[in-house]
């Protein structure tokens, strides 16, 4: 089975290279600052002993006060996994960096989050609505959507 890496261990490793990037380290997850997401993700992918070459999924949750976007990665080589979380406090115009440049599989999922929760991903090559149609009013997975 895939081993979930310890969040605090990875946080220690990241702390040297990206000071201040990790806000909180959980048992198997890390809460990151939004602006350092792309740099950290690239580090996780390209460092040989981490080697997170596979993106399991991206999803997002509306917690009223903020949006939380969740990334799960797996290394197919080392057979270990990690969860990254990023928060977006801006409700009007939430923006995060896109990870499509690192994992192509993020393309459709980021579009879905953009469509249903209204979070923009900067650097996405083709950020359009995917499930609903152009001209649809609002983002249905937001808790205040009626």
Partner 1 sequence: MEIEEVYSRQQIDEAEGRQINELIARSQEPIPDPDDWLDEELKRNVLLTSVDAVLDWARRTSLWPVFCFPACCAFEFMTTAASRFDISRFGMEIVRASPRQADLMITAGTLTWKMAPQVKRIYDQMAEPKWVIAMGACAISGGIFRSSYSVVPGYNRIIPVDVYLPGCPPRPEALLYAIRMIHKKIASRSLIQEGK
Per CB under 8 A, residues contacting partner 1 are 126, 128-129, 131-136, 140, 145
Question: In the complex with partner 1, which residue's Cβ is closer, 31 or 132?
Answer: 132
**Could you tell me the smallest distance in angstroms from the CB atom of residue 135 to partner 1?**
4
Cβ nearer to partner 1, comparing 87 with 139: 139
- Taking the complex as a whole, how short is the minimal distance between the CB of residue 103 and partner 1, in angstroms? 22
Burial class (CB in 10 A: 0-12, 13-18, 19+), 105: middle
Note whether 103 and 60 are within 8 A (CB). Answer: no
Cβ-contact 118, 139 below 8 angstroms: yes
- Distance CA(112)–CA(56), nearest Å, equals 15
Kind of pairing, strands 3-4 and 22-25?
Answer: unpaired
Q: Which is nearer to partner 1, 4 or 130 (CB)?
A: 130
Smallest distance, Å, CB 104 to partner 1? 18
Which C-beta is closer to partner 1: that of 79 or that of 126?
Answer: 126
CB of 116 to partner 1, least distance (A): 10
Containing H/E element for 60? strand 54-62
Instruction: Please report where in the chains the tokens 């070459």 appear, as a residue.
Output: 53
**Tokens standing for residue 93:** 């115009």
35 by DSSP, 3-state: which?
A: helix
């Amino acid at each position: 089975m895939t081993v979930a890496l310890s969040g605090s261990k990875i946080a220690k490793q990241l702390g040297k290279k990206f000071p201040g990037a990790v806000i909180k380290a959980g048992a198997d997850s890390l809460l990151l600052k939004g602006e350092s997401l792309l740099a950290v993700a690239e580090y996780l992918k390209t460092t040989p002993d981490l080697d997170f070459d596979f993106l399991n999924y991206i999803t997002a949750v509306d917690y009223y006060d903020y949006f939380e976007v969740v990334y799960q990665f797996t290394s197919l080589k080392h057979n270990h996994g990690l969860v990254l979380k990023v928060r977006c406090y801006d409700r009007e115009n939430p923006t995060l960096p896109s990870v499509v440049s690192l994992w192509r599989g993020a393309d459709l999922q980021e579009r879905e989050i953009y469509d249903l929760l209204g979070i923009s991903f900067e650097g996405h090559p083709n950020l359009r609505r995917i499930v609903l149609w152009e001209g649809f009013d609002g983002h249905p997975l937001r808790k205040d959507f009626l």
